[in-house]
Amino acid sequence: MKTSVYRFLCCLLLAALSCSVAWADGSPRDVIPLPAHIAVAKGCFNIPAGGLRVHLAAFPALAHAVQQCPLGCSLVSKRAGADVVIDADAGIASPEGYRLVVARKGIKIAAKCEAGAFYALQSLVQMSAGGRVRSIVCCSIADEPRFSWRGLHFDVSRHFRSVEFLKKQIDAMALLKLNVMHLHLTDGAGWRMEIKSYPRLTELAAWRPARTWQEWADGGARYCTRENPEAHGGFYSQQELRELVQYAADRHITVVPEIEMPGHSEEVLAAYPEVSCDGSGLGSSDFCAGKEATFRLLESVLSEVVDVFPSPYIHIGGDEAAKTAWRSCPHCKLRMEQEGLASVEELQSYFICRMERFVNSKGRRIIGWDEILEGGLAPDATVMSWRGVEGGLKAIKAGHDVVMTPGEFYYLDYTQDAPFKEPISIGGYTPLSRAYAYDPADPSISPEQMKHLLGVQANLWSEYIPTDAHAEYMYYPRTFAVAETGWSRAADKDFSRFRANAVALCAFLRDKGYNTFDIANEFGERKESFVVADHLARGCKVTYNLPYSSQWPGAGDATLTDGVQGGWTYLDHKWQGTMRDLDVTIDLGDVKPLHCVTATFMHSEGAWVHVPQKMEVLTSIDGEHFLSAGTAWGYVTNGQPKILLHPFTLLLNVSARFVRIHATKHSRPGAWIFTDEIQIN
């Protein structure tokens, strides 16, 4: 009898829950990015079974967006009888702002410009879960973006993406109120835009005899023609790009093209070796800054670029130029003499400034990565700060416009969950919580300087992301965090609310055919990083026989014995890095019996982080005379692509006060060692 009653009650509960889910009301607090001002009223608006009837009292060009809306919208010519009325209101301050009022009998939208009305529709789509929720809470929304630049980056050089893929992502961007698509069209791995004046850029530089970037890099970074049976790659015709630009513009998204210079240009030098320093096109990734042929090519290329892309900005790259060949190139040396330049950094500044003048002559502005600050910034250049935030802050305070894209928070090629369960990545760990936590409005920026902070952008470099499905997996849901930071008020950020909305929005996108990360079942940060490691060496003095890097100091001299263990990435500042051997001596304070020494090292091959070849432990009573207690050897093989944490453990049976740990770095030139804690028991 009790069992029957229990089953009956369970059935009633399940029925009640299913009804509540089926009839849950859409709320403005479900929207990503969260609207600026929300007031909720009593009651609901019920979406008619036949869809919404929309009257455009303004913005007739919005008709296409209305008809494409997943709420089954249809246009009606009269205000009377319409479920949704869209009006213009010049009193709304922001061109992207809108007012949205949901009442029991209908919905009213007002905006200053078409963009605002379009964004109001996107909020309606999210509130109704794309039509799956049939009633929306009565409310009023007054909304506008925090920043004017809300961007997403697409690296189509390393792995070519189809126009259809890009259009699909534009649709997702529009839903999130993102408004800039940054298209990384050129890099060493492939040139992706038709240039009629320099046809070999697509005849040769767009193709490689390797499917993936890794295979291409491992195979000597060679190029081939399209006719090669092993050819992989592709490019966009100018007509295809014009159609893409229009598709984006219809959704209020600007496509910003990037043409890399002076570095990351191996593919151009292979196609046109005369613009390399030695004329061979080999052994360098930088255009020759001393040859006029270089500037003729780039000016011709950019002339075609500005003809296709109406964007007010042209991205000219500027990052990671090695400048090695410039130091011995007679053409570059002559240029430096003629221009009175004291260093190759100043030569790079000359290069950027000259290209800026040309772009300005076309009525456009340049934007570049923060390396364009080196040697002196071009007068009207906008900076995209990726190497942390310092470069961006420096540029803002110097009066330059800046878009913040710090790698620590906004590089989506970093793994988004525990590396052992995720696809191969370039390294690093950027979970949704870290991406959401970043705020670009640094306290050191004055209110007057804030006008130079244009906004934020997330970047997805695709060296290790060969497929479209993998790219989507890396974009979503972390792109949601960038969208909310770029649009919503900082004071309204609440990760618990946001994460719940992200779970729902991921489900919505998956229903639409997107391959999203399963944020609902996230493993999360390394569990050891949440607890204090208690051991004999905790709090003891560490003497560095070789210094650690000032770039990655962790917590300074206390890092290795502070009881704090690192997470999945050295970017959490709990790991300490060195490009030398790790050689430290720990003073335990007294002679103590010792049985075990453990040090954990990180491996992240894409970031040049490697575990040591070996770790030797030496002990001493007096701190002067040391005896070897043994050696632990590394076992991570070369070519291991995933992030790994490798504990080196040595068992011993001695008594000592001083313990010296000497870890011999990996043989790879430029390799780093990262350690978080040395535990002695």
Catalytic option among 240, 278, 320, 581: 320
Check whether 17 has a pLDDT greater than 50: no
Banded model confidence at residue 372, pLDDT cuts 50, 70, 90: confident
DSSP conformation class of 93: S
pLDDT tens digit string along 531-552? 999 999 999 999 999 999 999 9
Per residue in 190-209, pLDDT tens? 999 999 999 999 999 999 99
Active site residue 616: no
Burial category of 624 from C-beta neighbours within 10 Å (exposed 0-12, middle 13-18, buried 19 and up):
exposed
Q: Residue 608 pLDDT > 70, yes or no?
A: yes
Which of 19-33, 449-463, 587-601, 663-677 is predicted least confidently? 19-33
Is the pLDDT score of 21 beyond 80?
no
DSSP state of 120: H
Q: What is the pLDDT of residue 9?
A: 40
Question: Who contacts 244 (Cβ-Cβ below 8 Å, separation ≥6)?
Answer: 163, 166, 167, 236, 255
Q: What is the pLDDT of residue 641?
A: 83
Buried b (16+ CB within 10 A) or exposed e, 445-478: beeebeebbbbbbbbbbbbbbbebebbbbbbbbb
What's the pLDDT at 1?
Answer: 40
Residue-wise pLDDT for 396-413, tens only, equals 998 999 999 999 999 999
Q: Please give the pLDDT value at position 24.
A: 59
Q: What pLDDT does residue 380 have?
A: 82
Percent residues over pLDDT 90 in the chain: 88
Of residues 517 and 635, more confidence is placed in 517
pLDDT of 280 over the 60 cut: yes
User: What percent of the chain lies above the pLDDT cut of 70?
Assistant: 96
379 pLDDT tier (thresholds 50, 70, 90): confident
If one counts every other C-beta atom within 10 angstroms of the C-beta of residue 242, the result is: 15
Q: What is the mean pLDDT of residues 657-666?
A: 97
pLDDT of residue 20 exceeding 60: no
Of the residues 55, 159, 264, 662, which is catalytic? 264
The pLDDT value recorded for residue 528 is 95
Q: Compute the mean pLDDT over every residue in the chain, rounded to the nearest whole number.
A: 94
Instruction: Establish whether 187 is a catalytic residue.
Output: yes
Q: Is 320 a catalytic residue?
A: yes
Q: What is the pLDDT of residue 216?
A: 96
What length is written for the chain? 681
Domains (ranges, CATH) in the chain? 25-143 (3.30.379.10), 149-521 (3.20.20.80), 528-680 (2.60.120.260)
According to the model, what pLDDT value does residue 16 have? 37
Of the residues 83, 96, 114, 187, only one is catalytic, namely 187
The pLDDT assigned to 18 comes to: 35
For residue range 472-488, what is the model confidence (pLDDT) as tens digits? 999 999 999 999 999 99
Q: What integer pLDDT is reported at residue 642 of this predicted model?
A: 86
Average pLDDT over residues 438-460: 96
SS3 letters for 142-173?
A: EECCCCCEEEEEEECCCCCCCHHHHHHHHHHH
